[in-house]
A and B are shown apart, each in its own frame.
Chain A
């Protein structure tokens, strides 16, 4: 049997290479289908990985609570338009909800920042030290401020990469220098490691962090002491995220004395939600393009079936001779199946090469990240093999079912 399989494969290759144009055209559908699958999946995987990296850059297992509208009737403020959340909410939340690992808070304003003769208008955030750990900020130089700094409302600042680029000369070390925020001098004690774009496309490195208390008292001039722009909380494990969200909602409703008929005066979001929207978009695209690829593979398979049916008819006499000299049905069946699978596998392999090239080209030209995983390539290969097997079965069966006498007599 091994000798038979080997020789049958050789015969198949010879027969196909004899008619290169025909074989090439037959394989085209498979080539396009597999190529599209490989390119699309790698673009989709790349997009997914990018989204995941972005979500991770915002901190994992993070719950964000934004203040909401204050009234349910009349003129309503938008999200974050009111002062329904404050620092004590965050501190109490941490005490009362054991699932929460930590809570933090922040308030932001876009303010002019000055260093010597340079100035920059950037978002200044008054935050708790816990906020920085929750959001997973790290430092390229210097370090964070402490709870003591917060308690004492010390004038220290952490600056993001974009701010550094705009306020400092290239090569100048920001740590130790003094910048002015709304004319208040702040000592820079840390430079934040760059995070790049957020999932929404904003520059996360265009940022200055100062202690929340300092911001409140010396920079923002807040009307309501203790009111925050947003609360942040983390859970130890990602599985607890949704339970924690429910508990936070319950806790805040009770704390804000909301009646059953009243809506929440806050909005809770998780990183998972944000990531999900992004992934959803790329998944929709992937599903759409994969279905196009599937149609292409189907058409490719039908092409293979068609050309094999032609081949069976053309070679009816040959099949008769083979049967006369002792080929059994399975021999004939195998011969045509191997021919079909050779077509589809060669097509699939070419498709994989084109797909990989296409994905690389997408990265180079469009700058989209692409990931070519070994699993995808193996799956595409096996799939093209299966297409050959499936669409070769009918013509092969037709050949094997021929009556030797009729086949020998066929003109």
Chain B
């Protein structure tokens, strides 16, 4: 994607990002002039202790929240200037979420859970079902379309959540502690899927975790402290763009 002046535009560009909360009389500065750039196709792990501002950053990157001050450009669009419904539109079209606690809709089948974002896009029902079934197949849940969350293991539930995030073919996948509630085996499965989506489909994955072995799947590790980037280092060589998309 190119900007008006022909310069390639980064997927994510944060400039002097501030977020200030008021908790009663106390002012909490969750983000303090954070600067960050993430390119299309990267696999990034964001780490940091609780209270470091990484959750606030995730909410901001996921367009769930807006900065108090500063700018966040997603694909060249300044999110800070958008209204609530425009943010919803961006979340629906460009962002997929994977949460620690899966956050599937209870007593609703895997297929319907995966269908949810398309539901709000107003696609014809047949198309919704076809796309959702395709997404479930991509995470290895073919044949489990009609299962309810309670009939699925934690790992399978998280895979439904990934299918839900994938179904809209987003450019950005945000995973907030995706393996936090899973055993080692399931964690490995989930990370393998995320890794594959990044490598084979070129989807940008941003991962929040505090487990080093999970962070190790990413190619870049950013540590947040006191609302700013503490360290930002590449842990693997950048994979060549020619490998993308097959």
Contact = CB atoms under 8 A, between A and B. Distances in A.
Nearest to A15: B107
A3 B125 contact: yes
Given A4-B122, A318-B106, A321-B105, A408 B116 contact: no
A184 interface: no
A3 B124 contact: yes
B228 interface: no
A397 B102 CA distance: 26
Interface residues of B, number: 30
B93 A326 contact: yes
Interface stretch (A128-136, A174-182, A327-335, A371-379): A327-335
Contacts of B119: 3-4, 7
B97 A18 contact: no
A330 B120 CA distance: 10
Contacts of B88: 323, 326-329
Most buried by B among A14, A322, A326, A331: A326
B105 A318 contact: yes
B120 A328 contact: yes
B59 interface: yes
A72 interface: no
A312 to B, nearest CB: 15
A320 B89 CA distance: 15
B121 interface: yes
Interface in A317-354: 317-318, 320-331
Interface residues of A, number: 24
B209 interface: no
Contacts of A326: 88-89, 91-93, 117, 120-121, 168
Contacts of A323: 64, 88, 91
A97 interface: no
Interface in B87-113: 88-89, 91-93, 97, 99, 103-107
B128 interface: yes
Contacts of A404: 64
Given A4-B120, A331-B120, A324 B62 contact: yes
Interface in A268-306: none
B123 interface: yes
B64 A405 contact: yes
A148 interface: no
Contact of A327 (B99, B120, B128): B120
Given A3-B128, A405-B59, A405-B64, A324 B91 contact: yes
Interface string A242-258: 00000000000000000
A224 interface: no
Contacts, number: 69
B82 interface: no
Report whether over half of chain A's contact residues are helix, strand or loop; otherwise say mixed. helix
A318 to B, nearest CB: 5
Contacts of B120: 4, 322, 325-328, 331
B20 interface: no
A325 B90 CA distance: 9
Contacts of B189: none
A366 interface: no
B125 A7 contact: yes
Given A325-B92, A326-B92, A328-B88, A3 B123 contact: yes
Given A3-B128, A7-B125, A322 B107 contact: no
B63 to A, nearest CB: 9
Contact of B107 (A7, A18, A329): A18
Interface in B44-76: 59, 62, 64-65
Contacts of A317: 103
A6 B116 CA distance: 14
A377 to B, nearest CB: 33
Contacts of B99: 408
B220 interface: no
B84 interface: yes
Contacts of B168: 326
A325 B106 CA distance: 16
A326 B120 CA distance: 6
Contact of A325 (B91, B123, B124): B91
A330 B89 CA distance: 12
Given A325-B117, A326-B91, A405-B65, A6 B125 contact: yes
Contacts of B89: 326, 328
A75 interface: no
A325 B125 contact: no
B164 interface: yes
B84 A1 contact: no
Contacts of A328: 84-85, 88-89, 120
A1 B121 CA distance: 9
29 contacts: A1-B122, A3-B119, A3-B122, A3-B123, A3-B128, A4-B119, A318-B105, A321-B103, A321-B105, A322-B105, A323-B88, A324-B64, A324-B97, A324-B103, A325-B91, A325-B120, A326-B91, A326-B93, A326-B117, A326-B121, A327-B88, A328-B84, A328-B85, A328-B88, A328-B120, A329-B85, A405-B59, A408-B64, A408-B103
Interface of A: 1, 3-4, 6-7, 14, 18, 317-318, 320-331, 404-405, 408
Given A324-B62, A325-B116, A328-B84, 12 more contacts: A3-B124, A3-B128, A4-B122, A18-B107, A318-B105, A322-B116, A323-B64, A323-B91, A325-B117, A328-B88, A329-B85, A408-B99
Q: Which 8 A-B pairs have the closest CB atoms?
A: A326-B92, A325-B117, A328-B88, A326-B120, A321-B103, A328-B85, A326-B91, A404-B64
